[in-house]
Amino acid sequence: KATRGNKESMRDVMFRSYKDAVVKMVEAIDVDLPSINPLFTNELVAEYYANNVTFVVLKWIDMDMKVPSDKVVELFQTMFITSIEGFL
């Protein structure tokens, strides 16, 4: 298993990667998010999803990746699509 220090560095790398990807996805939706709520910015949405994905992946790793990766991807797709539709 990864040590605490390794997990924290891995978490930071994962978070940045996911955040960058989500910012691009949110920008592609082309909705004026702050008009919905002033706090609702691309940056906030990206950080929200990056934190969620990072948390789930780290938990999956802690569980020795016993759940098949396609099920993890399915969970992400369901979580993202369901919650982003609720925002919009």
Q: How does residue 88 score in pLDDT terms, banded at 50, 70 and 90? A: low
> What's this model's pTM, rounded to 2 decimal places?
0.72
Contacts (Cβ under 8 Å, ≥6 apart) of 15: 50, 51, 54
Q: Tell me which amino acid residue 73 is.
A: V
Answer whether residue 82 shows pLDDT above 80. Answer: no
Q: Is the pLDDT of residue 3 over 60?
A: no
pLDDT for 22 equals 85
* Contact in structure between 57 and 72 (CB atoms under 8 Å): yes
| pLDDT tops 90 at residue 64 | yes
What is the predicted pLDDT for the residue at 49? 87
Mean model confidence pLDDT for the chain: 83
Question: Tokens 């702050």 — which residue?
Answer: 34
Using the predicted structure, report yes or no on whether residue 45 has a pLDDT greater than 60: yes
SS (H, E, C) 29-64: HCCCHHHHCCCCCHHHHHHHHHHHHHHHHHHHHHCC
